[in-house]
Chain A
Amino acid sequence: MSTTTLSHDEAHHHDAPKGWRRWLFSTNHKDIGTLYLLFALTMLFLGGASAMLIRMELFMPGIQLVDPDLYNNLVTNHALIMIFGAVMPAAAGLANWMIPMMIGAPDMALPRMNNLSFWILPAAATMLILSFVVPFFPGGGTQINTGWTLYPPLSVQVGMSMDFLIFAIHLLGISSVLASINIIVTLLNMRAPGMALMKMPMFCWTWLVTAFLLILVVPVLAGGVTMLLFDRHFGTSFFDAAGGGDPVLFQHLFWFFGHPEVYILLLPSIGVLSHVIPAFSRKPLFGYNSMVGSMLAVATIGMVVWAHHQYTIGMSMGAVTYFMIGTIIISIPVGLMIFNFIATMWRGSMTFETPMLFAIAIVLMFTFGGLSGVMLAVVPADMQYHDSMFVVAHFHYVLMPGAVFGLFAGVFYWLPKWTGHMYDERLGKIFFWTNVIGFNITFFPQHFLGLAGMPRRIIDYNVMFTEFNVISSVGAIIFGLSHLLLLYIVIKTIRGGKKAESRSWEGAKGLEWELDSPPAFHTWTVAPQVK
Chain B
Amino acid sequence: MIRIPEYQTPALRKKNLRLVWLLIGFALFIFFTSFPFWTGLFRIVGNQAAG
Contacts and interface: CB of A to CB of B under 8 A. Distances in A.
Contacts of B37: 238
A522 B16 contact: no
Contacts, number: 69
A365 interface: no
Given A189-B12, A219-B27, A219-B30, 8 more contacts: A105-B7, A177-B27, A181-B23, A185-B23, A218-B27, A222-B34, A223-B31, A249-B36
Majority SS at the chain B contact face: helix
B6 A111 contact: no
Interface string A361-379: 0000000000000000000
A216 interface: yes
Interface string A165-186: 0000000000001001100110
Q: Identify the 4 closest CB pairs spanning chains A and B, nearest first.
A: A223-B34, A219-B31, A219-B30, A27-B1
Interface string A241-278: 00000000100010000000000000000000000000
Contact of A107 (B2, B15, B35): B2
Contacts of A216: 30
A119 to B, nearest CB: 16
A106 B7 contact: yes
A217 to B, nearest CB: 8
Contact of B2 (A181, A185, A522, A527): A522
B32 to A, nearest CB: 7
Contacts of A98: none
Contact of B35 (A113, A184, A223): A223
A186 to B, nearest CB: 9
A142 B29 CA distance: 35
B19 interface: yes
Interface string B2-43: 101011000010011001100110111011101111000000
Contact of A220 (B2, B23, B34): B34
B28 A219 contact: yes
A224 interface: yes
A426 interface: no
B30 A184 contact: no
A120 interface: no
20 contacts: A27-B1, A106-B4, A106-B7, A111-B1, A113-B20, A185-B16, A185-B19, A185-B23, A189-B12, A189-B15, A189-B16, A215-B23, A220-B30, A220-B31, A222-B34, A223-B30, A223-B34, A223-B35, A522-B2, A527-B6
